[in-house]
Amino acid sequence: MNETQPRRAAPAPLPGGAVTDVRGIRVGHFTDPRRPTGCTVILAEEGAVAGVDVRGAAPGTRETDLLEPGNLVERVHAVLLAGGSAFGLDAAGGVVRWLEERGVGLQVGPACVPIVPAAILFDLLVGDHRVRPDASAGYAACAAASDAPPAEGSVGAGAGATVGKLFGIERAMKGGIGTASVRVAGVNVGAIVAVNAVGDVLDPHTGAVIAGARSADGMWPLRTAEAMLRGEWPAASAPVTQPGGATTIGLVATDAVLDKAQARRLAQVAHDGFARTIDPVHTPYDGDTIFALATGASGLRVDLALLGVAAALVTAAAVVRGVSRAQGIATSGLPRLPSARDLGWIRG
C-alpha cells in the first residue's frame, strides 16, 4: 500500500438503542401462545405527524390514504404492525378501542376518533393459519406498551416472521422484529422493523448473508439473488410466490418537528435501510411498507437530509437486529426453521 494514501477507516458499528428513545413513543407487543404470530403497537398518544411509503407490490395496509400530505388529518395516535396477513388488520380495532377508552384521538363533534394506520405481514405458513391477531391482540399490545426498550426477535409482529423463502419454506430461516436508534443534532431517530422478507438478510458492511435461503443440506447460504440470476427458480405454485407471501414492515420515528410531506420523505428514505440489508427487496411477493412518525417533542427542526441519513441507518440496524435476536422454531408439518444464531451465521 502506498503510505502517502490515506488509510480507509473501518465502518462504524451499527447503532444500538431503541425506537422508544424517541420522546413521545411507547411500544407494546402481543405474542400469541397458540402459534408463532402476534402484533406490535407503536403508541404516540400525544399525536404525531405521520407519513408512509409502500415499495412492495403486495401490501396489506389500513388508513394509509389519510397520510397523504394534502389530506385533512394531521396527526395519528398509534401505528400497528401485525402478523396474520389481511386477517391481522383486525388487531387495529383493539388499538382504537384502547385509545378511545382513554380519550385519545381526533375530536369530531361528540366523538373522539383514534387514528391508527396499520400494516401486516404474511406468516400463515407457520403453524395453524386459523390463529391470527385480532382486536383483543391489539388491545393487549397497547396494555403492554411502555417507553422501555422493547423485546426483539421472535415476539410481537416478528413472532412468525421468516426470511429467505423463495426456494421453499423448508429452506427458509427465522426472521423477527428489531429496533435501533441514534441521536443527531439534538434529536432522536429510531426504527422498529418486523423482518419477513422473501429475500436474504445481509450484513450491510460486508454483504455477507446472515439469514436467508439455505443450501440443499440446510447449512450454508444459497444467496437468493445470485441463484435467481443463474436461472434457478422455484415452482410457480410455491406458496411464497403468491402475492403477499412475505413482507417486511416497519416504522421510523423522530422527535424532530416535521410536516406531513417531510414525514413521507423520511419514510421514503428509510427504505434505503431495507435496500442495504435485504436482497432481493421490494419484490412482487413482498408488501414492504415503512411508516414515519414525528412527535415534535424536541421542538427542533433539523435538516431533512441529516434525518434521512439517520433513518436509513437505524432501519438497516433494526433489520439486522431482528434476525440476529430471533429464535429458531419448529411447528407442525414443517422442519425446524433455524435462526442465524443456530447456524452460527451471526455472533455477538
pLDDT in tens, 107-162: 999 999 999 999 999 999 999 999 999 999 999 999 999 999 999 999 999 999 99
Binning pLDDT at 50, 70 and 90, where does residue 194 land? very high
Say what the pLDDT of residue 348 is. Answer: 57
**Percentage of the chain modeled with pLDDT above 90:** 84
Torsion of CA 326, 327, 328, 330, to 10 degrees: -120
Domain count, the chain: 1
Contact 191, 19 (CB under 8 A): yes
Question: How wide is the angle at C-alpha 295 spanned by C-alphas 16 and 273, nearest 5°?
Answer: 40
First to last CA, the chain: 31
Minimal CA–CA distance to 79: which of 43, 53, 103? 43
Whether 5 is in a domain gets the answer no
Say whether pLDDT at 335 is over 90: no
pLDDT in the model for residue 269:
98
Domain that holds residue 29: 19-343
Would you say 41 and 145 are in contact if contact means Cβ atoms under 8 Å apart? yes
Is residue 9 assigned to a domain? no
What gap in Å lies between CA 202 and CA 276, rounded to an integer?
7
State CA 157 to chain mean position distance: 8
Domain containing 326 — which CATH number?
3.60.70.12
* Ramachandran category for residue 294: left, alpha or beta (phi over 0 → left; psi -120 to 50 → alpha): beta
- Would you say residue 277 lies in a domain? yes
Bridge partners for 163 per DSSP: 173
Please answer whether residues 33 and 260 qualify as being in contact, where contact means their C-beta atoms are separated by less than 8 angstroms: no
| 51-80 residue pLDDT tens | 999 999 999 999 999 999 999 999 999 999
Question: Do 329 and 154 form a contact (C-beta atoms < 8 A)?
Answer: yes
Question: For residue 178, is pLDDT > 90?
Answer: yes
**pLDDT for 1:** 47
Is 3 domain-assigned? no
Q: Cβ of 73: how many Cβ atoms within 10 Å?
A: 15
Beta-ladder partners of 189: 182, 254
197 in Cβ contact with 203 (< 8 Å): no
Distances (CA, A) of 195 to 17, 142, 248, 251: 18, 21, 5, 12
Determine which helix (DSSP H) or strand (DSSP E) holds 267, and give its type and residue range. helix 260-277
pTM, whole model, 2 decimals? Answer: 0.95
Determine the average pLDDT of the residues in 264-269.
98
Mean pLDDT of the chain: 93
The reply to whether 144 falls in a domain is: yes
Is there a domain that residue 10 lies in? no
Would residue 99 count as lying in a domain?
Answer: yes
The pLDDT of residue 333: 74
Indicate whether 183 pLDDT > 90: yes
Does residue 12 lie within any of the structural domains? no
